């Protein structure tokens, strides 16, 4: 079963615009991560935010986390055609002495040149 | 530092057959997790291996099994293949207790069952 739900399911924007995608989850977490996937291949880790953090930046990426609302958002500023991909949130919870990550359903982003 | 390598990249099998997928983990990582990703869906957790033992399992039947070797590489075995097993299978390595780091994923194996 999916822990997270991304919204919107698909997003199409012009190059240079900002892209915002949201993730909602159901249970308490220790951290939340965002991944990018190009053309149905492997996932690339973008950013991790811990449950005691509210905002984190990495280059053109900005992630926020609201644990009271069980939601997170990923903002990509000044988007480029190369940002076209699917984006997934993954929530991490400790289980049996390790961390397992459960992925959401993804947002398909298309950046038009 | 090497990344995660999966083999083969593509595979076509007939319903009822058995398949073995392989994964070599990133140097320094001791935990391997396997995910199944159907077309248009998010990755679904199959199971995780640590110290050569299964360390958690998702909602997959027993015909999905795995192995982890002393060098931390891993195999995913699927018996009695069904058409719905057609998917991208992803392997991810990590370091146990690494709450502050994400997974390193391989490029996946695309399995088609006909």
Q: If you average pLDDT over residues A83-106, what whole number do you get?
A: 83
For the segment B23-69, what is each residue's pLDDT rounded down to a tens digit? Answer: 998 888 888 999 999 998 999 999 999 888 988 888 999 999 999 99
Q: What is the pLDDT, as a whole number, of residue B51? A: 85
What span, in angstroms and rounded, lies between the C-alpha atoms of B1 and B29? 11
Q: Which residues of B touch A104 (CB under 8 A)?
A: 42
Q: Which of B74, B90, B94 is nearest to B30 (CA)?
A: B94
Q: What is the pLDDT of residues A33-85, one digit of tens each?
A: 999 999 878 899 999 999 999 999 999 999 999 999 999 999 999 999 999 99
pLDDT value, residue A7: 87
- The pLDDT confidence band at residue A16, using thresholds 50, 70 and 90, is very high
Q: For all residues of chain B together, what is the average pLDDT? A: 91
CA distance A108 to A90: 15
Query: In this complex, is the C-beta atom of A52 within 8 Å of any C-beta atom belonging to chain B?
Result: no
Kindly identify which residue of chain B lies nearest to residue A31, measuring between CA atoms. Answer: B99
The answer to whether A107 faces chain B, any CB pair under 8 Å, is no
| Per-residue pLDDT at A3 | 62
Chain B contacts of A105, Cβ < 8 Å? 41-42
Going by pLDDT thresholds of 50, 70 and 90, the confidence category of residue A101 is confident
The residue of chain A with its CA nearest to that of B38 is: A40
Q: Tell me the two tokens of residue B33.
A: 């997790």
| Alpha helices for A6-61 (secondary structure H) | none
Number of alpha helices (DSSP H) and beta strands (DSSP E) in chain A: 0, 11
CA distance linking residue B94 with residue B103, whole number of Å: 5
CA distance B106 to B29: 13
- A25 touches B at CB < 8 Å: no
Contact B23, B6 (CB under 8 A): yes
The pLDDT of residue A99 is above 70: no
The pLDDT value given to residue B27 = 82
Please give the Cα distance from A32 to A101 (Å, whole number). 9
Closest residue, chain B, to A34 (C-alpha): B102
Res. A1: pLDDT tops 50: no
**Beta strand B87-94 with B31-37: parallel, antiparallel or unpaired?**
antiparallel
Chain-chain contact of B96 with A88 (C-beta, under 8 angstroms): no
- The first and second tokens of residue B63, run together, are 């015909």
Cβ–Cβ below 8 Å for B96 and A98: yes
Across the interface, whether the CB atoms of A105 and B41 are under 8 A apart is answered: yes
Task: In whole angstroms, give the CA distance from residue A34 to residue A48.
Answer: 7
The string of DSSP letters for B14-39 reads -TT--EEEEEEPPTT--EEEEEEE-T
* Residues counted in chain B: 114
């Amino acid at each position: 079963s999916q822990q997270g739900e991304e919204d919107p399911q698909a997003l199409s924007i012009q190059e240079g615009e900002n892209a915002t995608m949201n993730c909602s989850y159901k249970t308490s977490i220790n951290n939340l991560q965002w991944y990018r996937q190009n053309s149905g291949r492997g996932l690339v880790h973008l950013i991790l935010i811990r449950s005691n953090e509210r905002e984190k930046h990495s280059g053109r990426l900005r992630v926020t986390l609201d644990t009271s609302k069980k939601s997170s958002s990923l903002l990509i500023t000044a988007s480029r055609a190369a940002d076209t991909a699917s984006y997934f949130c993954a929530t991490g919870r400790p289980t049996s002495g390790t961390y397992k990550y459960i992925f959401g359903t993804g947002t398909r982003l298309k950046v038009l040149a | 530092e090497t990344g995660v390598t999966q083999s083969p990249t593509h595979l076509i099998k007939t319903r009822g057959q058995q398949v073995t997928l392989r994964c070599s983990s990133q140097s320094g990582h001791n935990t391997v997790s396997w995910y199944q990703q159907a077309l248009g869906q998010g990755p679904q957790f199959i199971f995780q291996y640590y110290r050569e033992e299964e360390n958690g399992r998702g909602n997959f039947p027993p015909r999905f099994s795995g192995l982890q070797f002393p060098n931390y590489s891993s195999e995913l075995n699927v018996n009695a293949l069904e058409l719905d097993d057609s998917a991208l299978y992803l392997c991810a390595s990590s370091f146990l207790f690494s709450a502050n780091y994400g997974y390193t994923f391989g490029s996946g194996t695309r399995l088609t069952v006909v």
